[in-house]
Amino acid sequence: MKRPEAVVLFSGGLDSTVALCWALSEGYVCSAVSFAYGQRHARENRSARVIARRLGVRLYDIKLDFPWFGTSSLVGGRGRLPEQKSSAIGRPGDIPSTYVPGRNLVFTSAGISLADARGARAVVLGPNAVDYSGYPDCRPAFYRALERAAAFGTRQGDRGERIKLLTPLIKLSKAGIVRLGRKLKAPLELTWSCYAGGRRPCGRCDSCKLRARGFAAAGVADPALK
């Protein structure tokens, strides 16, 4: 029996790496997609390439040039990255300056396009709505709506073959994601989460703090810091 195919949106970070390993463990033949969209650094993209090679997954590198993405402090390197207290991370209605307008909408649309072109039956994503930065495009309702839209706007949908949007981490805490990654033997030591880039994570941005809190709650050391 032919194994089903999935497209995985893959940044090289902790969450997307665990999502990719989850898809592989579920028996999907995976293709991955990563994006260069003017981030402050290319460190995460390099991690994506290394991890994809390690896992034997084909990686599509997509370059996007959206000038208005520069309104985010995560893009272009001009704005100062916020250094939030961990207790404030993910507070409802508090959208940090690192939010990139419509980013997950654009990325998911690209993943759906690739899935439709390849005949893949699913797009796998790693958003999380428990321990996260408060971005509005990480919530379950957003992905449910996109899945419905894809059913009307794709060749597969027109044939009655819905492309599923699978978000296996969306209700997990960051500690739960760490535990799942360890269970799946994901190469967590190769992942990169820091917004600032550099040779080592800054430890101050909200992504670093979320990651540190997750590993601490899971009771394990972060292998990427060794």
Q: Which class is domain 5-225? A: alpha beta
DSSP assignment of the chain, as one string?
A: -PPPEEEEE--SSHHHHHHHHHHHHTT-EEEEEEEESSBS-SHHHHHHHHHHHHHT-EEEEEE---GGGGGSTTBTT-SPPP---GGGTT-TT---TTPPTTHHHHHHHHHHHHHHHHT-SEEE----SSSS---GGGSHHHHHHHHHHHHHHSHHHHTT-PPEEE-TTTT--HHHHHHHHHHTT--GGG----SS-SSS--S-SHHHHHHHHHHHHHT---GGG-
Mean of the per-residue pLDDT values of the chain? 89
pTM of the full predicted structure? 0.89
Flag the least confident range among 126-130, 170-174, 188-192: 126-130
Q: What is the reported pLDDT for 77?
A: 57
At 177, is the pLDDT very low, low, confident or very high (cuts 50, 70, 90)? very high
- 213 has a pLDDT exceeding 80: yes
Domain ranges across the chain? 5-225
At 88, is the pLDDT very low, low, confident or very high (cuts 50, 70, 90)? very low
Q: What is the reported pLDDT for 22?
A: 98
CA distance 79 to 83: 12
Query: Which is it for strands 164-166 and 122-124: parallel, antiparallel or unpaired?
Result: parallel
Within 8 A by CB and 6+ apart from 105, the residues are 137, 146
At position 115, the amino acid (one-letter code) is A
- 87 has a pLDDT exceeding 90: no
Write out pLDDT tens, residues 121-161: 999 999 998 866 678 888 899 999 999 999 999 999 999 99
* Sign of the C-alpha dihedral computed for residues 94, 130, 111 and 78 taken in this order: positive
Write out pLDDT tens, residues 26-85: 999 999 999 998 887 889 999 999 999 999 999 999 998 878 776 777 676 555 665 554
Alpha-carbon separation of residue 198 from 118, 163, 194, 218, 224 (angstroms): 36, 37, 9, 26, 13
